[in-house]
Chain A
Amino acid sequence: MTVMTKMKAFATAAGFAATLMVGGASMASAEEVTLTMAVPDWPPTRIMKKFFDEQYKPKSGNTVKLDVDFIPWPDFYTRVNASLTSGEQKYNFIVSDSQWLGAFVEGGYFRKINDLLEADPDFMATFKSIHPNPLNAYSTYPHKSENYYGFPQFPDVLVNFARADILCHEEEQKNFQAKYGKKLPCTGEELDAMTWDDFRNVGEFFMRKKGDMLAGKPAEDDFYGIAYQAGKGYDFSSMQINGFIWQMGGNTWDETQAPKGQAEGVVNSPEAVKALEKYLDMIQFMPPVAKTGTMDIFKSDELFREGKVAMNIDWIGLGEASLDPKTSKVSDKLVFGQMPGTMGPDGKMIRWSNIGGQPFVLTTWTTDAQIKEAVEFVKWWLSPEIQHQFAAGGGQSAIKSVYEDPKYVTYRPWNRAWAPQLDWQKDVWHVPQFFELLTQQQDQFDLAITGKQDAKTTLDNIAKFQQNLLKEAGLIE
Chain B
Amino acid sequence: MSNLSDLLEKLGLARKGGVDNAGWGRTLVVAIVSFIYFLPVLMIIFTAFKPQDAALSVPPTLSPTSLFGLIPDQYVFTPTLENFGSVFSRVMTAGGQPEPTGFDRFFFNSIVISSVSVLLALVIGTLASYGFSRYPLKGNDTYLFIILTTRMLPAIVVIIPVILMFRVVGLSGSYLGIIMLYTAFNLAFTIWMMKSFFDELSTDVEDAARIDGSSETKVFFKICLPQVVAGLAATFVFGLILTWNEFLFALLLTGVDTRTVPVAMNQAVSSGGRGTDWTLLASIETLFLIPVFLVTFFLQGHLLRGVTFGTVKR
Within 8 Å by CB, do A and B touch in the complex? yes
Q: Interface segment, B29-37, B160-168, B293-301?
A: B160-168
A86 and B92 contact, CB distance less than 8 A: no
B172 at the interface (CB under 8 A from A): yes
User: What's the Cα separation between A79 and B251 when bound, in Å?
Assistant: 7
Chain B binding surface, main DSSP class: loop
Whether A46 is near chain B, meaning CB under 8 Å from some CB there, is yes
Say yes or no for A65: interface residue by CB 8 A criterion: no
Q: Are B266 and A327 in contact (CB under 8 A)?
A: no
List residues of chain A with CB within 8 A of the CB of B276.
298, 302
Tell me the chain A residues, 45-73 only, with Cβ under 8 Å from chain B: 46-47, 50, 67, 69, 72-73
The answer to whether B272 and A42 have CB atoms under 8 Å apart is yes
Encoded as 1 (CB less than 8 Å from any B CB) or 0, chain A from 174 to 211 comes to 00000000000000000000000000000000000000
**Listed residue (B99, B164, B165) with the most chain A CB atoms within 10 angstroms of its CB:** B164
Give the contacting residue for B266; candidates A13, A72, A324, A326; CB below 8 A: A72
Give the B interface residue count (CB, 8 A): 36
A46 and B163 within 8 A (CB): no
Instruction: Write the chain B residue with the least CB distance to A89.
Output: B167
Shortest CB–CB separation between residue A230 and chain B, in angstroms?
Answer: 15
Stretch at the interface among A25-33, A314-322, A416-424: A314-322
CB within 8 Å for A50 and B93 given contacts A42-B273, A44-B273, A79-B251: yes
Q: Which of A67, A88, A298, A318 contacts B167 (CB 8 A)?
A: A88
Bound-state CA distance A87–B163 (Å) is: 8
> Is A400 an interface residue when CB atoms closer than 8 A count as contact?
no
- Chain B CB within 8 A of A124 CB: no
A394 at interface by CB-CB < 8 Å: yes
Residues of B within 8 A of A89 (CB): 167
Shortest Cβ distance from A236 into chain B, in angstroms? 11
**Chain A hits for B168, CB < 8 A:** 10, 13-14, 17
CB-based nearest A residue for B169? A17
Q: Is B267 interfacial (CB 8 A cutoff)?
A: yes
B62 near A: Cβ within 8 Å? no
Choice from A88, A329, A394 contacting B163 with Cβ under 8 Å: A88
B53 within 8 A of A: yes
Residues of B within 8 A of A111 (CB): none
> Secondary structure at chain A's binding surface: helix, strand, loop or mixed?
helix
Residues of the B chain whose Cβ atoms lie less than 8 Å from the Cβ of A306? 56
Residue contact A74 to B92, C-beta cutoff 8 Å: no
Query: Are B274 and A82 in contact (CB-based, < 8 A)?
Result: no
- Residue contact B274 to A298, C-beta cutoff 8 Å: yes
- Give the most central of B159, B172, B263, B272: most A CB within 10 Å: B272
B25 within 8 A of A: no
B259 to chain A, nearest CB (A): 9
For the complex, is A456 an interface residue (Cβ under 8 Å from B)?
no
**Complex formed: what's the CA distance from A67 to B52 in Å?**
32
A379 within 8 A of B: no
* Residue pair B167, A18 in contact (C-beta under 8 Å): yes
- Whether, in the assembled complex, B269 has its beta carbon less than 8 Å from a beta carbon of chain A, the answer is yes
Q: Which residue of the partner chain, among A50, A74, A319, contacts B270 with CB atoms under 8 Å?
A: A74
Is A75 on the interface with B (CB-CB < 8 A)?
yes
Cβ contacts under 8 Å, A221 to chain B: 58
Q: Which A residue's beta carbon lies closest to that of B94?
A: A394
Residue B229 interfacial (CB < 8 Å): no
Is B264 an interface residue when CB atoms closer than 8 A count as contact?
Answer: yes
CA distance A18 to B255 in the complex (A): 17
Tell me the complex Cα distance, A44–B263, Å. 20
- Report how far A321 CA is from B52 CA in the complex, Å: 12
Which size class do A's interface residues fall under?
35 or more
Please give me the residue from chain B that is nearest to A299 by CB atom.
B275
- Which B-chain residue is minimally distant from A412 (CB atoms)? B94
A301 within 8 A of B: yes
In the complex, what residues of A have CB within 8 A of residue B273's CB? Answer: 42-44, 317-321
* B272 partner residues in chain A, CB cutoff 8 A: 42-43, 320-321
- Measured CB to CB, the nearest residue on chain B to A50 is B93
| Contact A393 B53, beta carbon cutoff 8 Å | no
Given A46-B93, A79-B252, A306-B56, also A72-B263 (CB < 8 A): yes
CA of A191 to CA of B92, assembled, Å: 31
Are A326 and B93 within 8 A (Cβ)?
Answer: no
Among B52, B167, B255, the most chain A Cβ lie within 10 Å of the Cβ of B167
Residues of B within 8 Å of A10, CB to CB, are: 161, 164-165, 168
Cβ contacts under 8 Å, B93 to chain A: 43, 46-47, 50, 393-394
Query: Could you tell me the distance in whole angstroms from the C-beta of B177 to the nearest C-beta in chain A?
Result: 12
* A residues 280-320 touching B (CB-CB < 8 Å): 296, 298-299, 301-302, 305-306, 317-320
Q: A321-B274, A394-B94 are in contact. Are A329 and B172 (CB under 8 A)?
A: no
- Kindly name the residue among B53, B270, B274 whose own CB sees the greatest number of chain A CB atoms within 10 A: B274
Any B CB within 8 A of the CB of A213: no
Q: Does A90 contact B (CB under 8 A)?
A: yes
Instruction: Give chain B residues whose Cβ lies under 8 Å from the Cβ of A393.
Output: 93-96
Q: Complex Cα distance A86/B173, Å?
A: 14
Q: Residue of B at shortest CB range from A78?
A: B251
A308 nearest CB neighbor, chain B only: B58
B256 interfacial by beta-carbon distance below 8 Å: yes
Are the C-beta atoms of A46 and B92 separated by less than 8 Å? yes
Q: Which residue of B lies closest to A10 (CB)?
A: B164
Chain B 269-297 interface mask (CB, 8 Å, partner A; 1/0): 11011111100000000000000000000
Residues of the B chain whose Cβ atoms lie less than 8 Å from the Cβ of A88: 163, 167, 172
In the assembled complex, how far is the CB of residue B50 from the closest CB belonging to chain A, in whole angstroms?
A: 13
- Residues from chain B with a CB closer than 8 A to the CB of A44 are 273
- What are the 8 tightest A-B residue pairs by CB atom distance, in nearest-first order? A298-B275, A72-B266, A73-B270, A86-B163, A321-B274, A394-B94, A46-B92, A42-B273
Would you mind naming 9 contact pairs between A and B with Cβ atoms under 8 Å apart? A10-B165, A17-B167, A44-B273, A83-B163, A302-B274, A319-B273, A320-B273, A394-B94, A394-B95
Could you tell me which A residues sit within 8 Å of B by CB distance?
10-11, 13-14, 17-18, 41-44, 46-47, 50, 67, 69, 72-75, 78-79, 82-83, 85-90, 220-221, 296, 298-299, 301-302, 305-306, 317-321, 324, 326-327, 329, 393-394
Chain B residues proximal to chain A, CB less than 8 Å:
52-53, 56, 58, 92-96, 99, 159-161, 163-165, 167-168, 172, 251-252, 255-256, 263-267, 269-270, 272-277
Beyond A17-B168, A74-B266, 12 extra complex contacts between A and B, CB < 8 Å: A11-B164, A67-B256, A72-B267, A73-B270, A83-B163, A85-B160, A86-B160, A86-B163, A86-B164, A90-B172, A393-B96, A394-B94
